[in-house]
Structure formats: structure tokens, C-alpha cells
């Protein structure tokens, strides 16, 4: 007899960790700019707003990074187009991160939430892991 899994609805608000990584998107970057920044986002927040929050957060992290003269300069134009990536499951490798778009944002958010339901207590401590990539000069 197969156990039925309880479906928990997505909460009204959830945590996001935004990390700026140095290197090419979906590459093997092990270098991050500063520590991940935690944001609280409402479930009904649109992709455009989430994307802008990620870019603003990355811009702040990069400005703080550049404040230390000993750090290498990074290529960053907050006005240019930016790609935001999400880690869809706990064991997802960097080359399998999913690029968020206007069309897939809600579906990917639901997929990440559903994946968290497969791990004990993961929905209770749910955090959406978002990444943006920065080039070196």
C-alpha cells in the first residue's frame, strides 16, 4: 500500500538567498561575491520584481566587494540585461540550475516547492536559492 503524501500549499511569503557568483552562467564557479543575502518575498510577487530585487542585491554586494581595493575588479552593469538562475533541488549541480524567465517563474517556483516536499521538514525551512553571475575584468 502506497502512502499518500500530504500537499502543503506554498506560504504567503518565503525566504530567498541571493548569491552573486563570479564566472560564466552554469559554469563551475566556486567563487561568490560576499555572503548570500536573505530576502523575504511574497508568493504573489511577479518575476519582474523578483529579478529587480536580485539585481539590486547583487549590485550592493558588488559595491561592497569593490570597496576593498585588494579585491579583483568585476564586470557589472546593473542597467544591462541580467539572467537569474534557481537551484531547483537540494542536490542540483550548478550546470543544472534553471534560468528564470517571465514565462516559467511561477511553474519553477511551484516545482522547487514540490521538490522540497520530498525531503523531511524541507518545506518548513524552505528557502529559494537564486544566483546571478558576474564576470571578471
Summarize pLDDT for 62-120 with one digit per residue, the tens: 999 989 888 888 989 888 889 999 999 988 999 999 999 999 999 999 999 988 888 77
Of 80, 84, 63, 64, nearest to 16 by C-alpha is 84
Partnered with residue 16 across adjacent β-strands are 39, 128
The pTM of the full predicted model, rounded to 2 decimals, is 0.90
Burial group, residue 3, by CB count within 10 angstroms (0-12, 13-18, 19+): exposed
What CATH number matches the domain at 13-136, 3.40.228.10, 3.30.565.10, 3.10.20.90, 3.30.300.30?
3.10.20.90
Residue 5: other Cβ atoms inside 10 A = 9
128 φ, ψ (degrees, to nearest 5): -80, 125
Number of H helices, E strands in the chain: 2, 6
Q: What percent of the chain shows pLDDT beyond 70? A: 93
- Angstrom CA distances, 9 to 6, 19, 57, 104, 106, stand at 10, 26, 28, 19, 14
Element containing residue 116 per DSSP (H, E): helix 105-116
Amino acid at each position: 500500500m502506497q502512502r499518500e503524501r500530504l500537499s502543503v500549499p506554498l506560504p504567503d511569503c518565503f525566504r530567498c538567498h541571493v548569491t552573486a557568483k563570479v564566472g560564466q552562467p552554469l559554469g563551475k564557479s566556486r567563487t561568490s561575491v560576499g555572503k548570500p543575502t536573505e530576502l523575504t518575498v511574497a508568493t504573489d510577487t511577479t518575476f519582474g520584481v523578483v529579478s529587480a530585487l536580485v539585481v539590486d542585491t547583487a549590485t550592493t554586494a558588488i559595491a561592497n566587494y569593490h570597496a576593498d581595493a585588494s579585491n579583483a575588479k568585476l564586470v557589472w552593469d546593473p542597467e544591462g540585461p541580467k539572467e537569474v538562475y534557481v537551484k531547483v533541488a537540494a542536490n542540483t549541480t550548478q550546470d543544472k540550475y534553471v534560468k528564470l524567465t517571465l514565462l516559467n517563474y511561477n511553474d519553477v517556483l511551484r516545482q522547487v516547492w514540490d521538490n522540497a516536499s520530498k525531503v523531511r521538514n524541507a518545506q518548513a525551512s524552505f528557502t529559494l536559492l537564486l544566483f546571478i553571475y558576474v564576470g571578471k575584468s
